[in-house]
A and B are shown apart, each in its own frame.
Chain A
């Protein structure tokens, strides 16, 4: 089954404790991206990757890192999480540059206390 898998689904952590949210897709998609969703703000793009070893900042990259060492995986790293990063995070993937539909993971609800 074609899917984007995020882990974990729920995470509560403390300020400053490094964490990684994993994202994996099984559709051989070139394009992957991370979004955060906050009430009233819709989805905002954090980082995106057009292919292996090619990543770029989205609209809200501060406080986040990503890597794309393999085509299928695109982890999101919070080196020192802060409470303002409490949010619902989505990973998405698609072929090429947005000319086709994006497939979304089920989301990771992160709470930083």
Chain B
């Protein structure tokens, strides 16, 4: 299975509700990032959380990281129809050559009904 796995695969909520997406990973990481993708378009960076951080906020976004459980969650509060998109977590894993690989999960598709 992949390094980053989002849960759930799809989520449908009403406007104004909160949306929570989870991400699990397998190896040690330097940081974890969340991205958003509108249908068929490029990914847009939302937030980065480093391995020594536990929580981070940006506007209506709240990200938590639990390195002991190798998991992260993204909370979008007071969702809007414009939040409808796919959300991906990405982790950076150091590899033996000294480089690193950025590994994306399969994503959570969020649909916010107006």
Contact = CB atoms under 8 A, between A and B. Distances in A.
Interface stretch (A11-19, A36-44, A71-79): A36-44
Size category of the A interface is: 20 to 34
A42 B88 contact: yes
A103 B105 CA distance: 17
B105 A42 contact: yes
A107 interface: yes
B50 to A, nearest CB: 8
Contacts of A107: 40-42
B102 to A, nearest CB: 6
Contacts of B2: 42
B90 to A, nearest CB: 8
Contacts of A58: 101
- Interface of chain B: mostly helix, strand, loop or mixed: strand
A35 B104 CA distance: 10
B44 A41 contact: no
Nearest to B44: A104
- Interface of chain A: mostly helix, strand, loop or mixed: strand
B33 interface: yes
Interface in A44-78: 44-45, 48, 50, 56, 58-59
A84 interface: no
A43 B88 CA distance: 9
Interface of A: 4, 33, 35, 40-45, 48, 50, 56, 58-59, 88, 90, 92, 97-107, 109
Contacts of B102: 33, 45, 48, 98, 102
B14 interface: no
Contacts of B81: none
A45 B42 CA distance: 15
Given A42-B107, A98-B31, A90 B99 contact: no
